[in-house]
Amino acid sequence: MRTTTSRITPVLLFTTLLVAQGVAQTVAPTLVKDLEATGGSYPQHFCTRNVTGSPLFFTAKVGGKRDLFRTDGTALGTLRLTTLQDDITSAIGVGPLIYFTTASKKLYKTDGSVNGLIMLKQFARLSDLHGTHLPNKMFFEASLTTNTWELWVTDGTVGGTIVLKQPGNGYLGRISNIGALGGKVYFSGDARDHPSDLSAALFISDGTPAGTHRLIDIPGIDDVTELTVANNKLYFGANRNPTATTPVNSDHEPWISDGTTAGTKCIKDLKPIGGSFCAGFTYWEKTGRTYFKGNRDLVMDDGSKVKLLVPAADICYDLCSSKGKLYFLASVETASGTVYSVRSLNATTLPLGGSTVITDKIEYTLPQTYGAQGEKLIPVFIEADPTTGKLFIQGYSAWMLVCDPSTKVVSFVQPAVAPAPTIPTRSFNYNGFMYFSADYTGQGSELYRVQ
């Protein structure tokens, strides 16, 4: 049995970060609630309803089964909503509802109340829920048989849970990268007109069978990823395999689409041999442009590289915009090894050529290792709180950094018990706090939050 002292707020378990150009301080996260008395509950699947005052929803494993919980950030306000004896495998918030799937291939919905749970349908196959959807329609992959996949949609009612498209007839094998734009959803999938057709295509749906069809054929394209809606356009990365008109293989380059065949094109072949592996498409309202990481450079939506008027650095992993600035994670190779940092751009001049951004540099140097084994601190995600503008950075080995650009205060939040270095489950920003799962006792992860 865990003692009550094993979950006290771990004020002494943090390393203060030394910061160039700023003030350093220590931040201590707060345990929201100890949910599992005999081990960790390992919270995940964070989501909210799109209504004013929605609590935060998440799943946690208690008593051997993963159930749905809700919290307002306090122990008293953290409640268990389900006792299904059936592990929840994914959860997502769409409009005013929370949807989730279970290990027995059942789809449920809830309005967040204790008695608001309804089982919508039993399937033979059911994928995890993901993506961005229409306000009152949630799209997912499922099947009533075990030998195929189909595209389904639900409006939160039993009668409104219907199949939209089946394999064949220009439809796909598996869907991915769901994004909403202009009252419709777009998604990528493997075209299956005939067994030899392995190219990818973009699909569109308004939530009805008649309004769901292949939108764009891209010969030779496969592995469509990072489908992102920004500035009323679709951005994605894709591989272009050799064809009669494009005989050179081009691995994972950036593409843009306005939803038409004519308006769908490769932005630029940034690295003809090997691919640029683009990611992190982010709209920056200050310039009205979309930026992304490509071939370890910061690239604009016309394919031009941003010339950084700061010490030479590679763009790496992730970027975000907040309070008129564009922030990105960067790395610089030095004689002693790779140094990771957070950098910001403030566009004061943007020439007609669009190739140079005058920068207002703020740089936070990240520590390189931590812990007895000297684990590497490699940043993975960066996210900004829309209200406070604080930056939350998460990396391998489940560590977190909190940056306040307005005061240049940086705090390093590190779990005392580090798991094996793997890409962590992304934390969740809710009401000015970042919620995350961490293990401070060696007995398993619980739900914490930090501001």
DSSP characters over 415-446 = -SS---S-PPPP-EEETTEEEEEE-SSSS--E
For residues 358 and 349, the answer to whether their CB atoms sit within 8 Å is yes
Find tokens 């290990």 and name the residue. Answer: 103
For residues 441 and 417, the answer to whether their CB atoms sit within 8 Å is yes
Q: Give the Å distances, CA to CA, from 230 to 181, 303, 305.
A: 9, 16, 18
Reference 172, options 217, 133, 210; nearest CA is: 217
User: Band of the pLDDT at 355, cuts 50, 70, 90?
Assistant: very low
Q: Give the C-alpha separation, 299 to 312, whole Å.
A: 15
What pLDDT shows up at residue 151?
Answer: 85
* E-only strand ranges, 335-378: 337-345, 356-357, 364-365, 369-370, 375-376
pLDDT average, residue stretch 166-187: 67
User: Band of the pLDDT at 196, cuts 50, 70, 90?
Assistant: very low
pLDDT average, residue stretch 7-19: 35
What pLDDT shows up at residue 173?
Answer: 55
What pLDDT shows up at residue 199?
Answer: 57
User: Band of the pLDDT at 2, cuts 50, 70, 90?
Assistant: very low
Q: 394 has which bridge partners?
A: 381, 400
For residues 221 and 209, the answer to whether their CB atoms sit within 8 Å is no
Q: 297 has which bridge partners?
A: 294
Interval 365-378: pLDDT, tens: 655 655 555 566 67
Interval 74-122: pLDDT, tens: 999 999 999 998 999 999 999 999 999 999 999 999 999 878 899 999 9
Side-chain half-sphere CA neighbours of 246 within 13 A: 14
Chain centroid to Cα 282, Å, comes to: 12
Q: 364 has which bridge partners?
A: 342
Q: pTM of whole model > 0.75?
A: yes
pLDDT average, residue stretch 122-142: 89
Q: What is the CA radius of gyration of the chain?
A: 23
For residues 230 and 282, the answer to whether their CB atoms sit within 8 Å is yes
**Phi–psi pair at 398, nearest 5 degrees:** 60, 40
Chain centroid to Cα 201, Å, comes to: 22
Q: Which residues contact 59 (CB under 8 A, 6 or more apart)?
A: 43, 44, 45, 66, 67, 68, 69, 88, 91, 100
Interval 40-52: pLDDT, tens: 899 999 999 999 9
Interval 246-301: pLDDT, tens: 444 456 788 888 877 778 888 887 776 666 677 788 888 877 888 888 777 778 88
Reference 57, options 73, 71, 43; nearest CA is: 71
For residues 323 and 389, the answer to whether their CB atoms sit within 8 Å is yes
What pLDDT shows up at residue 361?
Answer: 56
Q: To the nearest whole number, what is the mean pLDDT of the chain?
A: 76
pLDDT average, residue stretch 122-130: 92
CA angle 161/163/164 to nearest 5° reads 120
